[in-house]
Amino acid sequence: MISVLLLGCLSLLVFWFHASSTEQVYFFSAREDNLYENPANWSPAYPGTHIREEEKIVLRGMVYITDYKLNIAGSMDLGLGSTLYALAGDVQIGATGQLTNRGELMVNRLINEGKINNSASGKIDVMEYTALPGAYTHNGPEAAFITAGNLHNQGVFNNYNLCKVRGKLINEAVFNMLPGSRLLLRNEAGKWEVIEKELPSSIQQPTSGIMGLDD
């Protein structure tokens, strides 16, 4: 019996080691300048602009992306106190992708098919945000999610703190206002309207439910 248990534990360890060792992690540290596309800023190598499922990029410091699209099929970690600027470029989180933000993300368009965790004191400040069907957005306590244009949600958006939409909020799926959260929308007169409980009846919310990052 003991030998069977030991064999089972050994098999799990081998599986865990294999699974964890298959993920390639790339670190950005701004050693030479702040440009994402400069290979000298990366270790062990420059990952390119298409991050595959088995890859992860870890960004520290100030990072600039020029006018191209960054596609994340794997994962991206923007650390506390770090900033990613892509004011003329887009960032797309694929269906298998995940973005964890504890810094400040400032991009032209942010498109989400996977999962976004805007946590701690993270700030996402974008021109437009589109969450496609199946996407999950977590705007955690003390975090802020701001759009200069429209926020188009077709997935699940859980708002725990501040969400500010300067354009239109187009909700076609689930937008949850959790306790302590605030939603700022412009009314027809151009003034800010603060919503702290439920979405206005004019904004459709056909279903409800809360999911987590591990769901």
Instruction: Answer whether residue 108 is part of any domain.
Output: yes
Q: Could you tell me which residues are beta bridge partners of residue 35?
A: 64
Give the model's confidence band at 30: pLDDT under 50 very low, under 70 low, under 90 confident, else very high.
very high
- The tally of domains found in the chain comes to 1
Residue that wins the pLDDT comparison between 8 and 116: 116
Within 10 angstroms of residue 195's Cβ, the number of other Cβ atoms is: 17
Over 60: is that where the pLDDT of 6 sits?
Answer: no
Nearest partner of 99 among 115, 110, 113, 83, judged by Cα: 115
Instruction: Answer whether residue 213 is part of any domain.
Output: no
Nearest partner of 139 among 182, 170, 171, judged by Cα: 182
Residue 108 token pair? 């032209």
Q: Say if residue 49 is exposed, middle or buried (CB neighbours under 10 Å; 0-12, 13-18, 19+).
A: middle
Q: Is 213 left (phi over 0), alpha (psi -120 to 50) or beta?
A: alpha
Residue 114 token pair? 């996977």
Instruction: Answer whether residue 202 is part of any domain.
Output: no
pLDDT value, residue 14: 41
Question: Which SS3 state, helix, strand or coil, does residue 53 take?
Answer: coil
Residue that wins the pLDDT comparison between 42 and 189: 42
**Residue range(s) defining the domain that contains residue 102:** 23-195
pLDDT value, residue 213: 47
Instruction: Answer whether residue 14 is part of any domain.
Output: no
* Full-model pTM: 0.85
Instruction: Answer whether residue 83 is part of any domain.
Output: yes
Cβ distance 175 to 155 under 8 Å?
A: no
Mean pLDDT of 147-165: 97
Instruction: Answer whether residue 136 is part of any domain.
Output: yes
Instruction: Answer whether residue 88 is part of any domain.
Output: yes
Give the model's confidence band at 66: pLDDT under 50 very low, under 70 low, under 90 confident, else very high.
confident
